[in-house]
Structure 1
Amino acid sequence: MELGFFIVLAAAFMAAFVQRLAGFGYGLIVAPVAMTYFSPIEVAFLMAFWGTANSAPTAFFTRQSIPWHAFWPVAPWLMIGLIAGLGALFMAPAVAFKLLAVVICVQAFISVFWPHLATRGVGWTADGRVAGTLAGVLQATVNIPGPPLVVHYNTLRLPQEAFVGVFAIIFLSVSVVRVIFGGVAFVLGQELTFLTQAIPDQPVYTLGIGALITVAGVMCGQLIVGRVSTAFFKRLTAVMIGVSALVLLTDILGLLLEVGGS
């Protein structure tokens, strides 16, 4: 196993662990790290399956707390955004998605430590239709749908378990749709050249081990949920998000230097 892939798997485990406790962070931690080893379009393919492995157990554990009245109005807009984002994924350059991921990670980091600053200028995303559409686009392109949804659901003042539950069911529903698209891409990729770029090397092995590691992280988090400080793990998650953003930013700067040198 290459060191780069090992680091991605370590990030997946820790991200799944802290998301079960803090309610957010999986995509924000895993996606930036994964983009340093895989291309953004390969990450989108992998995260469809890994995201399902992360969200399904959490949705099961929080099933009694899921506020369905808060989920259904957003769901159709998520799907609209998802379709739009998948189209953009094949057209825009990879560095654009990497930069977008860094920006979103910075916003998420700020939202934990300085929440009054994070919401400046983004209050318009509190509308569920806008939040859902943006979240779908972000999920399809950089695998980080949370920020617009956080602004929206914060206005509803949900209890912690309800907050975790609604995000789990949102991520699960979107991930299942992405798994279907990913399966189609895998099958058609044998015939359509442009789809082959979405399939990483050794796809079954890569998908399988990433999913297992993710489930292990969720289960470890489940063992201590309710026994630890949610506030502490939110801050820990934010620090991990900051580290992931720095890792990806370093990768971007390296690419820009290579282009400049050539």
Structure 2
Amino acid sequence: MLPPLPELETALILLLATVFVAGVARGLSGFGTGMIVAPVAAALYGPRVALVVIVIMDSLPVLPITLPALKIARWKEVLPVALGLALFLPAGVYVLKHGDPVALRWFISLAILACAAALWSGWRYRGPRGAPVSFAVGGVAGLLSGIASIPGPPVIIYWLASNLPAAIMRANLLTLFFVGEGLSIVNLWAAGLFEADAVMLGVVASPVYFAGLATGSRLYGLASDTVYRRVTFLLIVAAAILALPAMQPLFAAIAGAVEGA
């Protein structure tokens, strides 16, 4: 027997609105889902539920664009990063499972703000490259993935500084994220975090996310990529700041306004 669907209350309305916005941002710019949804979902339902929701809703939409990418990805670049991610992702899940929820919310919001600032500034890693460094980058991505489902920023910063063609780098990222999603599902299952309520939230959020992706894809082309990226970064920063524990009174006021509407 399937568990019941969550009731349509204020928290769910706010979550679904955030998920839709994240889907539009992803459809326009190609990134931003985890960094927009993670802090808000963590503020509404807790960091553990937030990760489950993101993993569930962000698994299927990427399949049509990921499967072709597997054929052209450079596995010699992907494998060291994927190995680091695989080994350190369980540590991130352990921190998520046993960490203090308020401290985790601080970490998630501040980590997202730091990642957004690094990407916005255009900073690139200019140090030595090779398998050990790739493994270390993958380890950082694994920790962030296990805690908040945001493995992308450290890898993007690292690979953007390489001489990889844009098409190859995109294929490498899609391949790595595909591997990461599978590893996340396995680790969350092993940690017992796929609780019925969290899973049903992810199920309910998925069609809203699909709708956001479709909307963003249709809007694509109306402005430049620079505009899309700037809008996405602003949404990321707004979500991270709004979901800081210190902003809880404002968050509560927004929830009250939604209830009173």
Same fold (TM over 0.5): yes
Q: Quick one: which amino acid aligns to residue 219 of structure 1?
A: A
Do residues 130 (structure 1) and 136 (structure 2) align? yes
Q: TM-score, normalised by structure 2?
A: 0.78
Question: Quick one: which of 41, 47, 68 aligns to 2:48?
Answer: 41
Indicate conservation of the 8 Å contact 2:51/2:149, yes or no: yes
Q: Deviations over 1:73-110 (max 9, x none)?
A: 31111101111212222222112221121222222332
Specify whether residues 203 and 241 from structure 1 end up closer, same or farther in structure 2 by C-alpha distance, changes over 3 A only. Answer: closer
Aligned residue pairs: how many?
Answer: 239
- Deviation digits for residues 138-188 of structure 1, max 9, x if unmatched? 100122112211221112244555444433322222112222334455xxx
The answer to whether the 8 Å contact 1:75/1:170 transfers is yes
Query: Which of these residues, 167, 171, 182, is aligned with residue 176 of structure 1?
Result: 182
Residue 153 of structure 1: which of 135, 149, 159 is its match? Answer: 159
Which residue does the alignment assign to 2:226?
231
Query: What CA distance in whole angstroms lies between the structure 2 residues aligned with 1:125 and 1:144?
Result: 24
- Alignment match, 1:23: 30
> Hey, what does 2:253 align to over in structure 1?
none
- Identify the range of structure 1 (72-81 vs 17-26) with the bigger mean alpha-carbon deviation: 17-26
- Quote the residue 2:91 is aligned against: 84
Return the alpha-carbon distance in structure 2 between the equivalents of residues 52 and 97 of structure 1. Answer: 23
Q: Match of 1:44, as an amino acid?
A: L
| Contact map agreement 2:52 2:199 (CA 8 A) in 1 | no
Aligned-residue CA RMSD (Å): 2.9
Offset at 1:236?
A: 0.8
Alpha-carbon distance, 1:224 to partner: 5.0
C-alpha deviation, 1:46, in angstroms? 2.1
Maintained 8 Å contact 2:126/2:161 = no
Q: Please tell me whether the aligned partners of residues 81 and 137 of structure 1 are also in contact (alpha carbons under 8 angstroms).
A: yes
Q: Is the contact made by 1:98 and 1:252 (CA closer than 8 Å) also made in structure 2?
A: no
Q: Percent identity?
A: 22
Change in Cα spacing, 1:213 to 1:169, as seen in structure 2 (3 Å) is farther
CA distance in 2, matches of 1:246, 1:179: 28
1:108 maps onto 2:115 in alignment: yes
The structural deviation recorded for 1:56 is 2.7
Match of 2:172 among 155, 166, 170: 166
Cα distance in structure 2, aligned partners of 1:67 and 1:225: 28
User: Which runs of no fewer than 5 residues in structure 2 stay unpaired?
Assistant: 1-7, 250-261
Distance in 1, matches of 2:137 and 2:227, equals 27
Which residue number in structure 2 is paired with residue 98 of structure 1?
Answer: 105
Corresponding residue of 1:189: none
Query: Following superposition of structure 1 onto structure 2, how do residues 174-253 of structure 1 map, counting pairs within 5 Å?
Result: 174-184=180-190, 195=192, 198-199=193-194, 202-223=197-218, 225=220, 228-249=223-244, 251-253=245-247
Find the aligned partners of 2:167 and 2:45 in 1 and give their Cα distance.
33
Q: Unaligned regions of 5+ residues in structure 1, if any?
A: 186-194, 256-262
Note if contact 1:23-1:164 (Cα within 8 Å) is conserved in structure 2.
Answer: no
Question: Would you say the 8 A contact 2:40–2:243 is kept in 1?
Answer: yes
| CA distance 1:39–1:112, change in 2 (3 Å) | same
Distance 1:42 1:81, change over 3 A: same
